[in-house]
Amino acid sequence: MKWNVRTLKEYVDHRFKENRRSVKTARKLMNSRLNLMNNIHHQLVDQNKTFVSKMTYDIQHENLLRKIEDLQRDRNIIIGIALVLQLIVEPLLFYFLSK
């Protein structure tokens, strides 16, 4: 093909048109990706609002640990009382009932 001013202009115009079309398509794809990323970001922000703070968790965790320790102490006291009663009362009952 011989190049002259008209054919060169047509070729350049055609290339510019193709480039504009490519840029437009790339822009649409990029906007779609960015919108998806923004949606994910908004979901994570909304989800983050439902999380408990570390400070609140630590306080509640300490409270639960204290309650567990109290329950264990109370259980040990009850077991101790039951053993004492069994060691003292049972022989007395056996002694009095066997007469």
CA 59 to CA 67: how far, in whole Å? 12
Q: pTM value?
A: 0.51
CA 1 to CA 10: how far, in whole Å? 13
Around 78, how many Cα atoms within 13 Å sit in the side-chain half-sphere? 6
The domains of the chain are located at 1-51, 53-99
Q: What tens-digit pLDDT sequence spans the chain (99 residues)?
A: 688 888 989 999 999 999 999 999 999 999 999 999 999 999 999 999 999 999 999 999 999 999 999 999 999 999 999 999 889 988 888 888 887
